[in-house]
């Protein structure tokens, strides 16, 4: 039975707490315009884009909320132009506020995991994730969920994503699942203000996406499948089609990881069914997923054609229609998966070259992804019996093992060390290093 979005309800005036220079500037502009709803403000921007020759932009209430309350900065000059026209904000002021917000976001203090109860006199940061302190005292956590509760969810999502990018998913997956259960319990029992229903459903979809991804990275695959299904349910109910596509992209990646190429192809083709309405970066991601699936299915020529198309769409640059979650779709992401595609089709030497390129170009703040391709590099050099290279990789990995907790990466490393230890042509020093690396891995789940 198909899931349909609930009938749209009248929206109350904007209530997002402004964050950063850009958030305050846009919020002030909306106050001058008489406090239109999220939906009405987004329509003004879509109308400005249509008048400029782009009638199919996808700005919505979530876009407005992100700009005002979540330190999200539009990456397209066209988007800034249309915001300026729609909300009567001088272009120069808007550009300056966007740049200042980028600086402000970079200056935010890092998140510290703690379970200690704060003293009565200590100030609790309003950026602290909901679940990191069981005694966290915030009015939004008491009584029916309100706009403040939704904003707490979004702030927590941002911080959990940062922790995942730095350290891997093993230690935080359970926390995010518990937060997801708390949100869906409120939805199931009607414990929320009626005016925020769609926002709360959308937050549940976004939180479920993150929980599903973290369980996947922690190599808890059955649990990840269940969370992905639940996340799809709430994202569909809320009408957040961009989040539905994000979740489906994760489902496709999981199918590839589990060596189920036909399932991954079906998922990619489901997203591509509406390809003309997807932004270039989303289309690039879909072709990456499809290319990986085709490589696993033995269709090498078709796989690399998909990667050519992915790079062509990526070269179109940032667009105003890009969903906020596409920030991580970049040359590094495509290069790493292209390397995996070559490995899966038997071209291990090219795969090694691409893994090196991915490692060298990995953006700051994505240590987990860099570690992932170091692990893939070790496994591929073991395939090639390139023992000097394998020794170099182990020497780089071993000192950092205590900083990374990802069941998915641990599984790849166990496979690599097993290959080395079982190969009698490997030098004794390398096999000893592989045994040492294996001992440093966390116990298998």
Domain residues for 91? 20-106
> CA dist 259 to 220, 293, 427, Å?
15, 9, 31
> CA dist 145 to 148, 196, 199, 331, Å?
8, 8, 11, 40
In a domain, 365, yes or no: yes
Two tokens at 195?
């005016």
- The per-residue b/e assignment along 257-292, b for 16 or more CB within 10 angstroms, e otherwise, is beebbebbbebbeebbeeeeebbbbbbbbbbbbbbb
Name 295's Cβ contacts closer than 8 Å, sequence gap at least 6: 303, 340, 341, 344, 345
β-bridge mates for residue 192, sequence order: 145
210 and 256 co-located in one domain: no
Question: Which of these three, 224, 239, 254, is where a domain ends?
Answer: 239
76 and 155 co-located in one domain: no
Name 76's Cβ contacts closer than 8 Å, sequence gap at least 6: 318, 319, 320, 322
CA-wise closest residue to 259 among 188, 344, 328: 344
d(CA 129, CA 112): 10
On whether the pTM is more than 0.75, the answer is no
In a domain, 344, yes or no: no
248 and 177 co-located in one domain: no
324 and 396 co-located in one domain: no
> Based on the structure, what is the number of domains in the chain?
4
Residues 63/67/68/69 CA torsion (nearest 10 deg): 90
Two tokens at 163?
């922790």
Question: Which of these three, 106, 126, 157, is where a domain ends?
Answer: 106
Question: Which of these three, 106, 133, 163, is where a domain ends?
Answer: 106
378 and 428 co-located in one domain: yes
CA-wise closest residue to 27 among 101, 78, 127: 101
Q: In tens digits, what is the pLDDT along the chain, a chain of 445 residues? A: 343 433 434 444 445 678 888 988 998 898 898 888 888 888 899 899 888 888 777 677 778 887 888 777 876 778 889 999 999 999 888 888 888 887 666 555 433 333 333 333 333 333 344 444 333 444 455 678 888 889 889 989 999 999 999 999 999 999 999 999 999 999 999 999 999 999 999 999 999 999 999 999 999 999 999 999 999 999 999 999 999 999 999 999 999 999 999 999 999 999 988 777 889 999 999 999 999 999 999 999 999 999 999 999 998 887 777 888 998 999 999 999 999 999 999 999 999 999 999 999 999 889 999 999 999 999 999 999 999 999 999 999 998 888 889 999 999 999 999 999 999 999 999 999 999 999 998 554 4
In a domain, 121, yes or no: no
Phi first, then psi, for residue 145 (nearest 5°) are -60, 140
In a domain, 53, yes or no: yes
């Amino acid at each position: 039975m198909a899931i349909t979005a609930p009938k749209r309800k009248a929206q109350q005036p904007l209530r997002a707490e402004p964050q950063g220079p850009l958030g305050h500037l846009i919020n002030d502009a909306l106050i001058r315009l008489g406090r239109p709803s999220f939906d009405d403000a987004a329509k003004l921007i879509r109308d400005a884009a249509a008048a400029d020759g782009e009638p199919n932009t996808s700005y919505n209430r979530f876009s407005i909320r992100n700009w005002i309350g979540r330190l999200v900065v539009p990456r397209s000059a066209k988007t800034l132009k249309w915001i300026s026209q729609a909300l009567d904000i001088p272009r120069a002021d808007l550009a300056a506020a966007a740049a200042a917000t980028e600086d402000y976001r970079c200056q935010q203090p890092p998140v510290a995991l703690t379970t200690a109860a704060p003293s009565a006199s200590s100030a609790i940061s309003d950026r602290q994730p909901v679940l990191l302190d069981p005694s966290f005292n915030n009015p939004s956590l008491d009584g029916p969920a309100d706009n403040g509760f939704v904003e707490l969810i979004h702030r927590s999502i941002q911080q959990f994503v940062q922790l995942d990018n730095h350290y891997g998913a093993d230690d935080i997956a359970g926390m995010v699942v518990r937060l997801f259960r708390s949100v869906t319990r409120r939805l199931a029992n009607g414990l929320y203000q009626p005016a925020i229903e769609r926002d709360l459903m959308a937050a549940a979809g976004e939180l479920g996406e993150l929980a599903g991804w973290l369980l996947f990275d922690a190599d808890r695959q059955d649990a990840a499948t269940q969370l992905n299904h639940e996340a799809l349910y709430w994202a569909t109910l809320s009408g957040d089609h961009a989040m539905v596509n994000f979740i489906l992209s994760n489902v496709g990646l999981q199918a590839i990881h589990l060596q189920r190429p036909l399932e991954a192809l079906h998922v990619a083709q489901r997203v591509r069914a509406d390809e003309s309405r997807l932004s270039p970066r989303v289309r690039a991601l879909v072709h990456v997923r499809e290319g990986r699936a085709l490589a696993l299915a033995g269709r090498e020529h078709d796989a690399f054609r998909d990667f050519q198309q992915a790079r062509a769409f990526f070269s179109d640059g940032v667009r105003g229609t890009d969903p906020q979650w596409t920030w991580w779709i970049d040359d590094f992401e495509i290069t790493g998966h292209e390397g995996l595609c070559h490995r899966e089709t038997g071209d291990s030497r090219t795969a090694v070259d691409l893994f090196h390129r991915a490692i060298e170009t990995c953006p700051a703040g994505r240590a987990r992804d860099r570690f992932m391709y170091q692990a893939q590099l070790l496994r591929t050099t073991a395939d090639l019996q390139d023992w000097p290279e394998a020794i170099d990789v182990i020497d780089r990995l071993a000192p950092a093992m205590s900083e990374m907790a990802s069941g998915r990466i641990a599984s790849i490393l166990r496979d690599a060390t097993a290959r080395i230890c079982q190969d009698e042509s490997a030098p004794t020093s390398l096999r000893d290093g592989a045994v040492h690396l294996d001992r440093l891995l966390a116990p298998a789940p």
